[in-house]
Amino acid sequence: MNQEIIRVLLIEDDEDDYLLLDDLLSELERLKVLLDWENTYRGGLAAIKKSQHDVYLVDYRLGEKDGLELLQTEIVKNCQIPIILLTAQNDEELDIAALSLGAADYLHKSEIKSYILERVILYAIERNQNFKALKESQAKLQEAEKIAHLGNWEYDINTEKITLSDEASRIFGFNGNKSEITYSELLKRFVSESQELLKENLALVLEKKAYAESEYKIIRPDGKFRYIYTKSTLVVNNNSETKGIFGTMLDITERKEAELELQKIRQKEHLLGIIIDRINQSLNLEEILETIVHSVRDFLECDRVIIYRFLSDSSGIVEKESVREGYPTLLGRVIGDPFFSDENILERYKKGYINIVNDVDIREIKESYQNLFRLFQVKANIALPILINQQEIETQTSGIVVWGLLIAHHCREKREWEKSETDLLKRLANKIGIAIQKAQLYDRLKQLNQELEKIAYIDVLTGVYNRRHFEEKLLEEWRRLERDRASMSIIMVDVDCFKFYNDTYGHQQGDKCLQQVAQTIRATVKRPGDFVARYGGEEFAVVLPNTPIKGAFQVAENIRTEIEALKIPHQASAVSKWVTSSLGLANINCDSQSNPELLIQAADMALYNAKISGRNRVEIYNTSMQNLEEQKQEINLVRQLKDALGENRFCLYGQTILPLHEGVKTKLCEILLRFWDGSGKVISPTTFLSVAERYHLMLRIDRWVIKTLLSYLSLPQITKLYQDLIFTVNLSGVSINDSSFSEFIEHQFAISQVSPKQICFEITETVAIANLENAAKFIRSLKKLGCSFVLDDFGTGMSSFYYLKNLPVDYLKIDGMFIRNIEQDSLSQGIVESIYNIGKTMDLKVIAEYIETESILNKITDLGIDYGQGFHIEKPSQLITMV
């Protein structure tokens, strides 16, 4: 990377400060600085007169004189080079005085760091260049005034006509022959804020006979904005009567745009300063990336900013996101980008390639890429590579790697990305790469520390935890379980007759024996939360949190049999010709009335009983026990359900409901629900729905299903794919009885623009009959929108046909137990036929579920049933996932 060469003059009488600044300037990344030094006031003035530098750094203390005097002297002489005052004093008045005298900036010596010095120097030079541009613009304006290159206008209060000079007409963009216009015509050329200001100023001139001058923003017929500066005064006749207003105007657009650009530069530097300070002060990568996406979206005023990390294949995941309300979130989405199929793209990114799209609809963009943009509602896009220097410690090699992309989306309309915006994003992408490398190094250091810490916890001989860590971890687990009054089991394991084993085979063989025993115990204790420790010479302890006595006994018995199965010879044993073990087991509820020491003592007592009872056995300490395992599992499932709702770990599956006759045209698909538990395992509804109902989670789950499904169906490509399909959605009783639920559904239809005719709700017969009035009211309200309804599990109640006439449903779904038994049970077949006949009489379509064999399908078809559903027809498949 080419560095910009900057010549800096330091006027400083302290050699130590000179050396310090010289060192700091040599560390700068983007600048190459040539530093000259003058240590006296006079020498500094002489050097400044030569004008050979880009920036002056002036110390406040310069012997008898100070930096303020030098500053004042040079500003009076119209010095064109920016001067930055250096001070060791924390004096706000001094800082204000320096700026008021014309200093470009000031720095406190105690706060100077290389990156701060770099930013201040760059900012001073950049601002000085803009100030020069402004001065040049002002000089041109003054010259224009001298040669009368000004527009003028005159307002006649009697006719309300405004006469414009040729130059004034040109400024406003009127046709050359249009020199006279009405006041209202002129007013339309001003933006709304300037219109109000113009009215106020004209009133001021007319009413108070005062002189007025202002700056206005106008809009020309070609849609371009201009800025004008006007002076206006009252015009009177010989009798001092008001005739109108005369004014001059000057086009100051260039000056104004320079001021606005300078303001943008300041904002950009401020933002960059905040982010760089955060990066330099924090090792928390999550916090840094969050700051960047939110700050960039605010600064660019765009609709979405994401940080996208590449995966091992040609896809990536959205790590961080800031998105404007109303646009879909991509956070956590794995996205396969067709652009990455180009093998050279990563090499181009390594060389600094920036993908800029001002309008996604232009022909040059591939259709596959356009489709991806449209899926995320993107109209303009800019993507910059995040590069890191990946170091391989094992091979001692390193190289530039494209870690991911910093991407900004504009969704409302197409957008021209400005160079200043691109420059800002380039610098930020570079800082992100540095932050990632720092975080990786920090994580590596943490890992090494953890490995060192682990060594301190492990018994060197056996590889299991040592006694010290056992005591620490036991107390930690106890406190954790104590909050819920949960139970804990401990197994104490002792190798039988081990003293005699050592005496017979020697200590080396004894060590090998203990190693085999320890590894066997650890292999038998498989749950992640359980742990094994060497408690004494030949004694081991096994801690089983949240394990009742029955389960702990099975673990203990498995340990005993596995040790014996090792068949380690032991001729000196009084128990067996093989090495065996004795085990003591105790279980207790962790609460304030007990403690870990009591549990260990109980297990020790049980171990003692095992030994005196003949060894090679498991003994349980005789204490009261409470088996709360089922309740704990249920509570754990509730916790997982709540986490799944909060983290979008639910997913939707679909199962076809197949038309069985040519006369049945409408296609149906039932929406089924699954969720991922913490380990990534997919959990079926039979496991969690009853628990969700008991713990009042079904209303939230039903709302999630409806909102997610309608959002999915609203996507353009999905709408076309499923436009002829009706989706059936199961609803719980609590949702049907919720007074606001139908309003929620109606609102979701309005947001998604999905036709209500495409949605059919399934209500079980049990739920409908339990509150018939509410169910009927709910059904009628949504049928008005166009929704249809299925009465599910029909036939389970004794009064099914009686209640059916009060429920305006469209489909009947026969309870599955009748379908399963239809071949073997004539009564089941009769019930199915009756349901079909009543459905036909009431002009309802009938659905048979649980069709699991070809013969059942044939039977159902022969009976004339309209639809079939079941594993024989189609197994459920995943429809949509939000993670």
User: Any long-range contacts for 77-83 (C-beta under 8 Å, 24+ apart)?
Assistant: 79/48, 80/51, 80/128, 80/132, 81/48, 81/51, 81/53, 81/54, 81/55, 81/56, 81/128, 82/55, 82/56, 82/124, 82/125, 82/127, 82/128, 83/56, 83/58
Residue 573 confidence (pLDDT): 87
Give the residue ranges of DSSP H helices in 483-595: 498-505, 507-524, 549-565
848 pLDDT exceeds 60? Answer: yes
147 pLDDT exceeds 60? Answer: no
* Cβ proximity of 422 and 327 under 8 Å: no
Residue 653 confidence (pLDDT): 93
How many Cβ atoms sit within 10 Å of the Cβ of residue 741?
A: 21
Section 704-726 average pLDDT: 89
Q: How many helices (H) and strands (E) does the chain have?
A: 30, 34
Section 673-692 average pLDDT: 82
Section 193-204 average pLDDT: 88
Residue 464 confidence (pLDDT): 92
Strand, coil or helix: 874: coil
DSSP symbol at 661: S
Task: Give the separation between CA 396 and CA 416, rounded to whole angstroms.
Answer: 44
Give percent above pLDDT 70 in the chain. Answer: 89
Residue 801 confidence (pLDDT): 67
How does strand 788-794 pair with strand 811-814?
Answer: parallel
Q: What would the pLDDT profile of 332-370 be if each residue is shown by its tens digit?
A: 998 876 666 565 777 888 888 898 999 988 877 778 778
Task: Give the separation between CA 87 and CA 96, rounded to whole angstroms.
Answer: 13
Residue 827 confidence (pLDDT): 85
Strand, coil or helix: 42: helix
Strand, coil or helix: 80: coil
138 pLDDT exceeds 70? Answer: no
Residue 461 confidence (pLDDT): 92
Determine the longest span between alpha carbons in the chain, in angstroms: 138
Chain CA centroid to CA 454, Å: 33
Q: What would the pLDDT profile of 516-555 be if each residue is shown by its tens digit?
A: 999 999 999 988 889 999 998 999 999 999 999 999 999 9
Q: What would the pLDDT profile of 399-441 be if each residue is shown by its tens digit?
A: 788 898 999 999 999 999 888 788 888 888 888 888 888 877 8
Burial of 313 (0-12, 13-18, 19+ CB in 10 A): exposed
Q: What would the pLDDT profile of 566-615 be if each residue is shown by its tens digit?
A: 999 999 888 899 999 999 999 888 887 778 888 888 888 788 778 877 89
Give the residue ranges of DSSP H helices in 387-418: none
Residue 826 confidence (pLDDT): 84
Section 88-107 average pLDDT: 74
In DSSP notation, 95-143 reads: HHHHHHHT-SEEEEGGG--HHHHHHHHHHHHHHHHHHHHHHHHHHHHHH
Q: What would the pLDDT profile of 213-241 be if each residue is shown by its tens digit?
A: 888 998 988 888 889 888 888 888 888 88
How many Cβ atoms sit within 10 Å of the Cβ of residue 25?
A: 21
Chain CA centroid to CA 468, Å: 41
Cα-flanking dihedrals φ and ψ of residue 176, to 5°?
-60, -30
Asked whether the CA dihedral 823, 825, 828, 834 is positive or negative, the reply is positive
Say which residues have a Cβ less than 8 Å from residue 190's Cβ, sequence separation at least 6: 198, 216, 217, 218, 219
Active centre residues (catalytic) = 538
Give 3-state DSSP helix, strand, coil % of the chain, rounded to 5: 45, 25, 30
